Each structure stands twice: as structure tokens, then as C-alpha cells.
Chains A and B, each alone.
Chain A
């Protein structure tokens, strides 16, 4: 378990993290989300004892990272996959890390195999693609078989096959009872991997909820209706309590579920060409949330604003708007 308690971090005059508190539970993958510059990496560095909080405390299993007697066996981390010296081979690189924790060289071979780098173990890491470097970083995190693992933007640079692999790996690791924290600036990455999300913006906590809760709370749903008699239908829906907006020949109905819309149409003998319940994607909800934080508005979330964002997104990428339902 990772506990971040009331942590503030200043870099000179810049407040990178602002009274942040959350805990990361074992057994599930926790997504750590926020736009670039939100303070995710800073928070991860503080968890690893690399940066010291200006105030507040960060603990792993109730202890300071720096006071862990066997850190590599307790916490595995991937921070910046490219921040390594390029002159060593993958095997040499993993070997020095392993030795620092008293881990055998057999284990180096195991993790090389596990991340699919066994064939290139002798190649210089300076020539690795970002995707291969990410795999090497994941191998590093796996060395001590630790119960707590942190990954900072691990999906960057991976090919689709690599992304599928890494998602499955994280879920498997979590199923073994580990605490897995994975950061990302893209909500879509988390939808299929994380069970719980912690969203931050401008160093502040915006949301700390299960994916289901998060979607329900922030991802407003709407119903898309196409009818040749939409001018008749719209007032009927409004009088039944729905909010209706026109959207490129269709009606976007909120505050009402699809069956109710169908019922009203049938009662008034109105022809429907299309009746589609749409759930706002997590991405849209996330963007609506963090957009607020990037503009530094502390105002409460307006569900209509979210629906609007969702409509814009749905229009921009047809077929993608029903994701996450």
C-alpha cells in the first residue's frame, strides 16, 4: 500500500503538488491520471524518496522509502525509460541494478525473458527504441518481484501488441495481490486496465474513485434520436422532463433513458430512424475534468458542459463515443 498524506511540493516558486492525499490499494491496478505537468511524476519521485516533500508524508507499507532495508524487493519502479546510459547492453544494465539489491543474475535472465528482450540482451540499450526501453524499464521494476510497483507513462512508445501485453501484465500483477500504480495523461489507456483512478490537475486531487463510480459521476449519458418528425418529438420530450438539443440532424436527449424516449415516440405515433443510448467516454469525462484544472477553475462540474464536450467529441470521432459504457 502506498500512502500520500497532505503532500505539498515546491520547486522554487512553483507549487508542483498541492496538499495531495490518496492511498493506493493492493490487488487492483490504480490509474494515476492528469494532464502533462499535473504533478504525477513529482508524486512518483516522492514515493521513491528521490524528491523530498516540502510538507506532508509519503510512505510505502507505512515506511519512508529511504528507510526500506531491501527496497528492490519492496518496490519496483519505471520512471523514465530513456534515462539510462546507452553504452551498456540490456543484460549489463539489469545486472548492475540487480547487484545493488543483492539479486542473483538468474533473475536478470528471467526478467529479460518475461519482457521479451532475451533476444536482444547483448545489444546496447542506447540503440533501443522507446518501446524496447519501456520493456527494459519494466524488467527493472520486476527484478525484485516486489509487492508494490509504480510505472510512469509505461505505454508511451509501445506498439499495439506491446500495449496489449503491458495491460495484461499489469492486471496479472494486480491479481497476484500487488499494489500497481500506473500513470498516464490519457484516460483511454486506463479504461481497460485500471479498476481505480486517481485524477490530479495542477498538483491537486480532482478525483479518487473506482472506474465505475468515475464514469457514473462524471460521464453523463445521453440518448441520440433521429426522426423525420423531430420537430414534433422535441417538445414532447421536453414536457416529459428531458433536455433536448439539436445536433446535426439528430436530437441529443439528456435526463432521460432510451426506453422512455421510445415509449413517448410510440405513444404519439412518431417514426424513429435511430434511437441510441450513448454513454460519454471516460476520455470525455476526464478531459472535461482536467480542462477545468488546467484553466485553474475550481468551479463545480457542470454536467451540461460535460455533455457538450461529449457531443463535440462524438462528432469528431464517430463510433468512439459509446466506449466505456
Chain B
């Protein structure tokens, strides 16, 4: 049935490079069905929710009070779908790391690439690029879809030539990998899919859920330090007014700091712990 003598390897032995790790992780990501499911679901949910909510609002807009109609803001409204798509993209980020722990395959990965930092760096880079592309597709798509639907109901619309719209659409799109990267870090820290998904959704949602319940002092001094409000202040702080938002520049730097902290601790534990 099988030959016992093995042809000699035709490939000459050479040192493994970071580009090899990157190619390996790329092959891994795009041979997993969960990749296609999560990415397409994220895109579909973003566009679908925006379309659904826009249709619902458009068909009832005439019944709104004059003051509600006057404060209607079409840019943020059209981006509502990313709330849902973002959850799925974060799950994707978690799975890129955690699926290897639930199967035990991480040992094979780290045997093939014993320089563990490379594995984390390659995964982080690919999550950034892949989710970046999909979340940008999501925000641009949601914007045009939303404006088209709102316009068809003669509601106020925005144009992408508008600087405010550009900052919100491209800012939200290009930073779409932020929570997925936090999720990836949590996957390496907690080594569990369920744990990391719960944790990343907590980080994503707790400020939103508890923000409204807490006194203003807490919103300004505590919640404003968290990753979500920090990032939001930079990409949508010019449109949305929230007492949780720090100054946009400070917020952007804080968000970057959170990312460094998350990936940094994932790196330290990945290198130190037994696999």
C-alpha cells in the first residue's frame, strides 16, 4: 500500500523567515470555513441591519415630531449596522487565536515556528489587514446604502465628499480591526474561545450598557479611559456628543495604548507559558 523509502526532500533547507510564518498563517486562515462564515456574516449583517433600520425609519419619518426630524443625523445613522458586524468581526479575531487552543493544534504551530512572537505578529497583522478590508467595505457600503434608502424617502442625507462623513466612514472602517485585535490578544491570554468572546464583548459593550446608568462623574473619569470610548472619540467624536469621550487625539493615543497593552501581554504570556 505504501512505499517505505521516501524520496529525499527537493527543497534545500533554509532558515524560516517571518514571511514564512505570514504565508503559513494566511494559508491557515483561508482554509478555515469559520473565516468565510464570520467575514461574510459580518459584511452581510452590517449592510443588512443598515438597510433594515433605514427602511423602518424612512417609512415612519413623516410621523416624527419636528424637533426629532430636525436633529436626525444621517451619517451615524447609516453606520448603525457596524454595531452588529463589529461583533462578528471580533469573534473572527478571537477564533484566529483560540481555535488552535481548543484543538490543541497550537503545539504544532509552535513546533513549526518556535519563535512564538512571530506567530502572534503574523496573526495580528493578518487580522488587521483582513478585518480592515472587510470593515472598510462594510462602512462604505453601509454609508451608500443608507443614504440611498434615506434619500428615497426624501430624508436628509449626507455625501462622502463631506469631511465629517469621511472621518466617520473611513475612520470607523480602517479601525475596524481594533476589537478583533483585542479579541485575538484575549484568545492567547485566556486560551479559550468562549472565554475570549465573552471578554471581548464585555470590553466592547460594557461602557455602552452601563454608561447610561452611571453618574456623569463616572462617565467622564472612568468610562472615558476604556478602549471603546477612547477609539470612538477619535473616529466619531466630531458627530456624536458623549461625556464618555476624551479629546479625540488623546482618545486615539489611549486606544493605541490599549492595543499595545493587550498584544504585549499576549506576547509575554505566549512566550513564557508552556504551550
Please list the residues of chain A having a beta carbon within 8 angstroms of any beta carbon in chain B: 45, 48-52, 65-73, 77, 79-80, 82-89, 92, 95-97, 99-104, 106-107, 110-111, 113-116, 140, 142-145, 161, 165, 168-169, 172-173
B4 contacts partner chain A, Cβ-Cβ < 8 Å: yes
Cα–Cα distance between A161 and B2 once the two chains are bound (Å): 10
Question: Is the C-beta of B5 less than 8 angstroms from some C-beta in chain A?
Answer: yes
| Contact residues of B: prevailing secondary structure | loop
Once A71-B112, A72-B112, A142-B6 are accepted as A-B contacts, the answer to whether A83 and B105 lie under 8 Å apart by CB is: yes
Further pairs besides A83-B107, A113-B3: 12, Cβ < 8 Å? A48-B111, A69-B15, A79-B108, A85-B99, A86-B103, A100-B112, A102-B20, A103-B11, A104-B10, A106-B10, A114-B2, A114-B6
Q: Which of B104-130 contact A (CB under 8 A)?
A: 104-105, 107-115
What CA separation (Å) do A107 and B34 show in the bound complex? 27
- Give the residue of A97, A145, A165 whose beta carbon is less than 8 angstroms from that of B1: A165
Q: Could you tell me which residues of chain B, from 7 to 44, have a CB within 8 Å of some CB in chain A? A: 7-11, 13-17, 20-21, 23-25, 27-28, 31-34
Complex CA distance for A97 and B99, rounded to whole angstroms: 16
Interface residues of B (CB under 8 A from A): 1-11, 13-17, 20-21, 23-25, 27-28, 31-34, 99-100, 103-105, 107-115, 274-275
Name the CB-closest residue of A to B12.
A73
Can you identify 22 A-B contacts, CB atoms within 8 angstroms? Answer: A45-B274, A45-B275, A48-B107, A48-B114, A51-B274, A66-B115, A70-B13, A71-B16, A80-B104, A85-B100, A86-B103, A96-B28, A96-B31, A97-B24, A100-B16, A100-B24, A102-B20, A110-B10, A114-B3, A114-B6, A143-B9, A168-B4
Inter-chain contact A84/B105, CB cutoff 8 Å? yes
A277–B14 Cα gap in the complex (Å)? Answer: 55
**Minimal beta-carbon separation of B101 from chain A (angstroms):** 10
The CA-CA distance from A71 to B104 in the complex, in Å, is 20
Chain B residue at minimal CB-CB distance from A80: B104
Whether the pair B20, A99 counts as a contact (CB closer than 8 A) is yes
